[in-house]
Amino acid sequence: METRDQKSCIEAGFLDNALVLIAVLDEKGRVISWNHAAETITGYSRDEVVGSANIWKHLYPDKEYRRGVTQKIADILKTKNYFENLETVIRTRSGDSHTILWNTKTILEAGMPRTIAVGMDVTTEREATLFRNSIIDNANVLIAVLDPKGTVQVWNKAAEVITGYSAGEVIGRHDIWKKIYPDTVYRRSVTQKISQVITEHNSFENIETTIHTKNGEERILSWNTRQIGTGGTLHEIAIGRDITDQRKAEEALVAYMTEMTMRLKQPVSIVSSTLLESAQLMKNGLLDKDETIMVFEGQARNAAQIEANIQEFQKAIVEKNKSIPEAYRKFLEG
Amino acid sequence: MPDYIDPHELEQKKIFLILASPGMIRQRNSDIIREISALGYHTVVITTNFPYSVLSKMYAQCSIPPGSVSFIDAVTRNSVGTAENIPGVVRYINNPANLTDMGIAVTEVLKEHSGQKVCIMYDSVSTMLIYLSSANISKFIHFVTNKLRLMDVSGVFLAVEKGLDPMLMTQLTTFVDNVVDTG
C-alpha cells in the first residue's frame, strides 16, 4: 500500500515533469507550488516565487493590462469557481512575451482552499495562427472558407475590398452568394456549372463569373477551389482573382486591333480606287494639270497618314494596351 | 437602273447609310445624286477625297444638273493652301480631320438652304478613317444626324462595305434610319 509520503513524491514528480506551467495558489493568490515548466516558461525560479503573490506583478508588469486580467478573472469567478481557456500574455524574466492559455480548478487541501492554475504556452501556435491570418488577410485575392453547410468561416480583406461586403456582414452566414449574384437565372447557371465541375473533380480551376459588388459595380472573378480537411470535416476554400482590369485591357486591345485593321484596310482600298479613277479621268482628258496635282497630292497625304497609322498600330502591339489612346479607351468604356 | 433611295422615305426626311464596294463607291455617289436631283432635291456633298472641281466634272459627265449640287470641300485647301468659297456652290474647309469647321460648314449650308428640299451627302465615312478614330467619326456623325433631324433634312452617308468594325457599324446603324448595301 502506498504511503502518504510515497503519494506525495509521485504527485511532486507529476507536477515537476508536466510540460505545462502549474502553480498552486492559496486563497490570497500566494504561490504554494511552482513547477519546473513554470520556471522554464517564465524564467522565475521556485525560490523567487513561492510564498508570495508578487510573481503576478512581474508577469503582468503593465498596470492597466494586469488590472484588466484581474477584472476578467474576478468576473469569471463570480459565477463559478474555476475558469477555462483564459488567454493572457505574460512578460518573462528575459523580457519576452508569451501567450498562456489558463485553466484553473479550486480544491480543498486539509480544509484550506487551493487553486491549481495550469498554463499552456501557446505562443508558437498563436504566432502561427497570426502568420496564417496575416497571409490570408494580405493576399490580393479573395479568400473564402466555407463549412460543409456553406456557411462562410473566413472572408479576407481582399474579399471585403473586391465585393464591398465586410467580414462582419459575411462570416457565419451563407447569403453572400445571393448578394453578389443578385440575378436568379445567372446565379442558377453559376451554381449548376460549379456543381457539375465539383461532382467530376471535387474542385474547379479558373471558372470565371461576374459578381455585383455592394456599390453595384460588376467585377469579373476567376475562381479556384480546394477542399481542405479540418478536424475531420471537409471545408471548401474558394479563391477568387479579380481579373476585371485584365479582361477590360484584353477587350480594349482586341477592339483597338479591330479598329486599326479597319482604319488601314478601308483607306488603302479608297486610295487605290481613287488613283484608278483618276487615271481613267486623265485618260478621258477630264483632269487638268492643277487638278491632277491636287488629286495626287491628296492621295500622297492619305498614304502618309496611313503610314503614320501603321506605326501607331505597331507601337500599340509592341507595348500592348499601354498605347491604346486614352480617348479610345474611354470610348470603349462607354 | 435600280433606285437606291426610296422617294417616300426621302420625303419623310430619313437618313441613309449606303454601303458599296471600294471600286463602286464613286459610281454610287453619282447614281444617288442623280436619283435625288430627279426628285427635285438639292444635294450638299461633303467631300473628303476628290476636290470639288473634279467631282463637278464627274457629275457633269453623269448628266447631273450643276445647279442641283453644292459642296463642302475638305480636300482643295489641304492641297493648294487657299481657296475662296463660292457662295451657293462650294464652301472649303482646311482638312478632313477638322470636324469643328466641318460641323460649322454643315450648319451654315443648311441655313442657306432653309425651306428648300435639301439632302446632305457625306462622302465618305471610309475616307474619314484615314484621319480620325472611329470614336471621333461616330461622335461627328451623331452630331450631324441630330442636326439633320432638328432641321428636318434627309441625309446620305457613304461607306465602303464589309470594312467597318462591328462597333462602329452598330453605332452608325443606330444613328441612321436605313442601311442599304448596294454591293
What confidence tens digit (pLDDT) does each residue in B123-169 have?
989 888 888 888 889 999 999 999 999 989 999 999 988 777 788 88
Kind and range of the H or E run holding A132: helix A123-138
Grade residue A334 by pLDDT with cuts at 50, 70 and 90: very low
Distances (CA, A) of A73 to A55, A67, A82, A87: 16, 10, 9, 11
For residue B76, the model assigns a pLDDT of 92
3-state secondary structure of B177: coil
Give the tens place of pLDDT for each residue, A216-239.
999 999 999 888 876 677 888 899
Kind and range of the H or E run holding A258: helix A244-283
On the question of pLDDT at A322 being above 60, the answer is no
Q: What is the mean pLDDT of chain B?
A: 90
On the question of pLDDT at A49 being above 90, the answer is yes
Domain ranges of chain A: 4-121, 139-242, 246-332
- How close is the nearest chain A Cα to the Cα of B38, in Å? 25
On the question of pLDDT at A323 being above 80, the answer is no
Dihedral of alpha carbons A194, A200, A202, A208, sign? negative
C-alpha cell at position A188:
442558377
- How close is the nearest chain A Cα to the Cα of B182, in Å? 17
> Per DSSP, which regions of A141-282 are E strands?
142-146, 152-155, 207-212, 218-230, 233-242
A269 to B78: CB separation less than 8 angstroms, yes or no: no
Burial of A323 (0-12, 13-18, 19+ CB in 10 A): middle
> Rounded to whole angstroms, how far apart are CA atoms B62 and A128?
88
- Pick A134 or A12 by higher pLDDT: A134
Which residue in the block uniquely carries the three cell numbers 477551389? A225
Choosing among 3.30.450.20, 3.30.1330.90, 3.20.20.100, 3.40.50.2000, the CATH entry for A139-242 is 3.30.450.20
Query: Mean pLDDT, to the nearest integer, of B44-73?
Result: 93
ipTM over 0.90: no
CB-nearest to B126 from A259, A267, A297 is A267
Which residues in chain B touch residue A259, judged by CB atoms under 8 angstroms apart? 133-134, 165, 167-168
Grade residue A246 by pLDDT with cuts at 50, 70 and 90: confident
A269 to B80: CB separation less than 8 angstroms, yes or no: no
Most B CBs within 10 Å, among A258, A268, A270, A283, to test the B interface: A270
> Rounded to whole angstroms, how far apart are CA atoms A162 and A179?
13
CB B22, CB A272: distance < 8 Å: yes
Helices (H) then strands (E): counts for chain B: 8, 7
- For a pLDDT cut of 70, what percent of chain A falls above it? 90
**Which of A:250-269 have CB within 8 Å of B?**
255, 258-259, 261-263, 265-267, 269
CATH says A4-121 is which class? alpha beta
**Sheet architecture: strand order including A142-146:** A152-155, A142-146, A233-242, A218-230, A207-212
Taking alpha carbons only, the member of A136, A191, A194, A129 closest to residue A167 is A136
Grade residue B183 by pLDDT with cuts at 50, 70 and 90: confident
> Rounded to whole angstroms, how far apart are CA atoms B61 and A242?
63
CATH architecture observed for domain B18-181: 3-Layer(aba) Sandwich (3.40)
Which of A188-202, A272-286, B51-65 shows the lowest mean pLDDT across its residues?
Answer: A188-202
Instruction: Tell me the pTM.
Output: 0.58
- How close is the nearest chain A Cα to the Cα of B65, in Å? 17
Most B CBs within 10 Å, among A265, A273, A289, A296, to test the B interface: A273
Grade residue A14 by pLDDT with cuts at 50, 70 and 90: low
Size of interface A-B (CB pairs under 8 A): 102
For residue A312, the model assigns a pLDDT of 82
Give the tens place of pLDDT for each residue, B72-128.
999 999 888 888 999 989 999 998 889 899 989 999 998 888 888 999 999 989 888
Provide the CA A57 distance to its chain's centre, in angstroms: 39
A291 to B53: CB separation less than 8 angstroms, yes or no: yes
Which residues in chain A touch residue B136, judged by CB atoms under 8 angstroms apart? 327
Domain ranges of chain B: 18-181
